[in-house]
Structure 1
Amino acid sequence: MISEHSHASHGKVVARLKRAEGHLRSVIAMIENGKPCVDVAQQLQAVESAIANAKRTLIHDHMDHCLDAEGSETDRAELRAISRYL
């Protein structure tokens, strides 16, 4: 059974990940075509940054919309669990 769990930011997260996917394909092609390592490293940095931004957006959105303001013990445990990925 698949549970639908969606937030307004998910579209932006998916767009960032698709952009990162395109960059990653370009990096693979650059390596296969013998491009200079400095150029490859620069593009890898762009991929890494795009993924990090997508992850951060997803986690912050979850913290804003899925955890109660009262901060139950369950919410505090979930906050500790998800904050490990920041």
Structure 2
Amino acid sequence: MTNQSEGAKISHRSTKEKDQLINRLKRIEGQVRGIQKMIEDDRYCVDILVQISAINAALKKVSLHLLERHTHHCVSDAIKNGEGEEAIQELMEVFERFSKS
């Protein structure tokens, strides 16, 4: 099996789903810019930390969505094609990285 990052990538993702993910990421990008401005404006540390927490939660939501899609499509397809062991190993490595955050 080739590395999934070289394979199908987003072929299972609909245009609507891609647009939703991109919009979420743009909102997160705006939140990050907001934090930069808060720091420039010497805003209260706790307010900044609250915003950082919100960004972390939003990124985690995007990550979980992508992980779910990957499992339902890429891993499932690999199993059907007899490449399940490699796909499951890769998925477990992703879980390990994800659990460290």
TM range (shorter): 0.7 to 0.9
Segments of 4+ moved more than 6 angstroms? none
- Could you say which structure has the higher helix fraction? 2
CA separation of 1:10/1:83 partners in 2, compared to 1, >3 Å: closer, same or farther?
farther
Query: Deviations along 1:46-85, whole A, 9 cap, x unmatched?
Result: 1111111111111111011111255721222122122223
Q: Structure 2, unaligned stretches of length 5 or more?
A: 1-5
- Residue 12 of structure 1: how far off its partner (Å): 2.7
Query: Gaps (5+ residues) in structure 1?
Result: none
What is the aligned length?
A: 85
Higher relative contact order (CA 8 A, sep 6+): 1
Paired with 2:8 and 2:72, the residues of 1 have a C-alpha distance of 18
Amino acid at match of 2:47: D
Residue number among 74, 82, 85 corresponding to 2:86 in the alignment:
74
* Percent identity for Structure 1 against Structure 2: 27
Alpha-carbon RMSD: 2.3
